Amino acid sequence: MADGPAILQSPDEVLSTLGKDGKRKWLYPVESKGRFLTRRRWTGFLLVLAYLALPIVHIGGKPAMLLDVVHREFALFGAVFYPTDTLLLMLMLIAIMVAVILVTALLGRVWCGWACPQTVYLEFVFRPIERLIEGKEHVRKRRDEGPMSVDKAWRKAAKWSIYLVISLLLANTFVAYFVGWEALLTWMQAPPTEHWGFFLVMAITTGLILFDFGIFREQMCTITCPYARMQSIMLDEDSAIVSYDPGRGEPRARRSKKQLQEEEEGRAEQKGDCIDCFACVRTCPTGIDIRDGLQMECVACTQCIDACDHIMDNIGKPRGLIRYTSERELEGKKTRLFRPRTVIYAIALVFVLSAFSIVLTQRADYDINIGRAVGEPYTELGDGRIANRLRFRVRNQTPVPASFTVRVADGSSLDLRPVEALPLTLDGGEMRRVEIWVMAPSTAFAGDTMPVNFLLEFSDGQVLERSFTLLGPSERP
Ligand code: SF4
Ligand code: SF4
């Protein structure tokens, strides 16, 4: 690579949020207006809207997204998955994983900069509130460094109060993903003692959100997030990155418009396009200097692009000194979209998605499981018959209600006595258990077992056959 970006020189600069005394360096990133900020803001608002709406909007009678761990039911845009759908869930997770790897290989950390909730909520919800109440960055910094005053106290109190309300809303929404809004509203209207577990989860989640967006902030990306640490294996020289162009910017030098004019006219030594104004550093939410090269702390938020474009406009130079590019492009070569790893990832993704679609379309409408009811494996009746008490667990995997009844496929000699009257109606997605006594003459047993084929007849006309082995005594009179 030609003049590659400089490597960090001093250990003092290893962590951008750490001061020389080892204490946290509080960042005051300046907002840089521009085309990327506008696009990211709209994307962010849409994502926030989606996050709030997904547990509320219902598709096919279920929330658009529901992760009901307690009842082991997962709803996603009308498709409902149950524990029996392990293969489907596994394929979905693999597809998400491969998609993340593919998108990262192609577009770099586009997720971090544009769609990660950490970025979206911090940059488009919490920071704007802070700016509104506490003022611009330099004003906030001055006030924070000053002594406590009435002005400082009321602003802090107002900001944290609003943060608390928003955190509560987000925590409620988060919990709604797991229990649904209906249950959540019912719990909220009841005394906390009736659902103390819920209130505990809610309080912890609210506290974590408050801490994260109010205090921890960029450290979530620079210290905690594992995705950032995996970048080095997912990115290659063709991946899209936000980068400073050292070939164009160096040698950097701070100079006035007049000096630039003189350079232009050949009356002064020509330098690089970077005027060392630090606008890109002041706007960086993770506090790094992008001119030091590709760094793990860079969340590809594009704020430095907007900041630098604005400077370039002011000094009459072309935009793009900091831009979306690739390491390969910075070396003067063409970025390759198709390369072995992206082709393999894409093929793998198509393969997994195809397998997912096939398994999904072939999934049975009803999940049936037959087992023994709790208690004795069989009962000898006084009239020479053997009774087995069986438990039929039936789940309606369609979105519409259906009823079913049970009979024996081939044995008129068997007598079925359901504990609960049949037919039994199931709502869409509902699972119910019904216990049935099955009485068979002891002479029908071969040894101590007897295979039986049950037919479950559903109201939509489907008849599903399931086998089960009845038990009886090994010796009979
Ligand atoms: S904003 Fe642009 S011109 Fe200013 S220091 Fe950064 S790279 Fe150089
Ligand atoms: S270097 Fe630029 S793109 Fe990276 S985090 Fe800082 S401002 Fe965002």
Q: Residue 160: inside a domain, yes or no?
A: no
CATH number of the domain encompassing residue 464: 2.60.40.10
281 lines ligand 2 (CB under 6 A): no
307 lines ligand 1 (CB under 6 A): yes
Output the CA 280–ligand 1 centroid distance in Å.
Answer: 6
Distance CA 252, CA 156 (A): 40
Nearest to residue 280, comparing CAs of 20, 36, 110?
Answer: 36
Q: What is the pLDDT at residue 81? A: 87
> Which residue range forms the structural domain that includes residue 438?
366-471
- DSSP assignment, residue 434? E
Between helix 35-53 and helix 150-179 the angle, nearest 10°, is 50
Q: What is the pLDDT at residue 24? A: 86
Q: Which helix (H) or strand (E) holds 128?
A: helix 127-134
Q: Which two tokens stand for residue 470?
A: 């009845």
Mutate to test the pocket of ligand 2, among 302, 309, 323 (most ligand atoms within 8 A of CB): 302
Q: What is the pLDDT at residue 477? A: 56
Ligand nearest to the backbone CA of 308? 1
Residue 456, strand partner residues:
406, 464
299 Cα nearest atom in ligand 2: 5
SS3 230: coil
Ligand nearest to the backbone CA of 323? 2
Distance CA 71, CA 231 (A): 36
- Domains held by the chain: number: 1
Residue 59, strand partner residues:
62
- Burial readout 132-163 (b: 16 or more C-beta within 10 A, e: otherwise): ebbeebeebeebeeeeeeeeeeebeeebeebb
Contact 124, 45 (CB under 8 A): yes
Q: What is the pLDDT at residue 62? A: 85
Output the CA 278–ligand 2 centroid distance in Å.
Answer: 13
255 lines ligand 1 (CB under 6 A): no
Q: Residue 162: inside a domain, yes or no?
A: no
Q: Residue 22: inside a domain, yes or no?
A: no
SS3 431: strand
Mutate to test the pocket of ligand 2, among 303, 308, 311, 324 (most ligand atoms within 8 A of CB): 303
300 lines ligand 2 (CB under 6 A): yes
434 lines ligand 2 (CB under 6 A): no
Shortest-distance Cα residue to atom 6 of ligand 1: 280
Shortest-distance Cα residue to atom 4 of ligand 2: 298
Output the CA 293–ligand 2 centroid distance in Å.
Answer: 11
pLDDT in tens, 323-345: 999 999 999 999 999 999 999 99
Q: Residue 19: inside a domain, yes or no?
A: no
- HEC string for 141-153: HHHHHCCCCHHHH
37 lines ligand 2 (CB under 6 A): no
Q: Enumerate residue ranges in the chain where pLDDT < 50.
A: 1-8, 10-11
pLDDT in tens, 378-393: 999 988 899 999 999 9
Q: Which helix (H) or strand (E) holds 270?
A: none
279 Cα nearest atom in ligand 1: 1
Distance CA 414, CA 408 (A): 7
Shortest-distance Cα residue to atom 3 of ligand 1: 274
Q: Residue 251: inside a domain, yes or no?
A: no
What Å distances lie between residue 459 and 101, 420, 422, CA to CA?
45, 18, 12
Mutate to test the pocket of ligand 2, among 109, 127, 242, 281 (most ligand atoms within 8 A of CB): 242
253 lines ligand 1 (CB under 6 A): no
Mutate to test the pocket of ligand 2, among 39, 290, 292 (most ligand atoms within 8 A of CB): 290
Stated pTM of the model: 0.83
The residue written with tokens 């005027």 in the block is: 275
Ligand nearest to the backbone CA of 255? 1
Distance CA 174, CA 210 (A): 14
- Residue 340 has a CB neighbour count (10 Å cut-off) of 9
322 Cα nearest atom in ligand 1: 7
450 lines ligand 1 (CB under 6 A): no
Q: Residue 379: inside a domain, yes or no?
A: yes
Q: What is the pLDDT at residue 13? A: 56
Nearest to residue 15, comparing CAs of 320, 246, 228?
Answer: 228
- Residue 313 has a CB neighbour count (10 Å cut-off) of 12
Shortest-distance Cα residue to atom 6 of ligand 2: 284
Q: Where are the beta strands (DSSP E) in 30-99?
A: 58-59, 62-63, 65-68, 73-76, 79-81
Q: What is the DSSP pairing of strand 366-372 with strand 322-325?
A: unpaired
Output the CA 392–ligand 1 centroid distance in Å.
Answer: 70
Distance CA 322, CA 306 (A): 9
| Contacting residues for 16 by C-beta, under 8 A, at least 6 apart | 25, 27, 222, 284, 286, 287, 288, 297
Q: Residue 429: inside a domain, yes or no?
A: yes
Shortest-distance Cα residue to atom 5 of ligand 2: 298
- Residue 321 has a CB neighbour count (10 Å cut-off) of 24
Ligand nearest to the backbone CA of 274? 1
Identity of residue 445: F
Q: What is the pLDDT at residue 416? A: 93
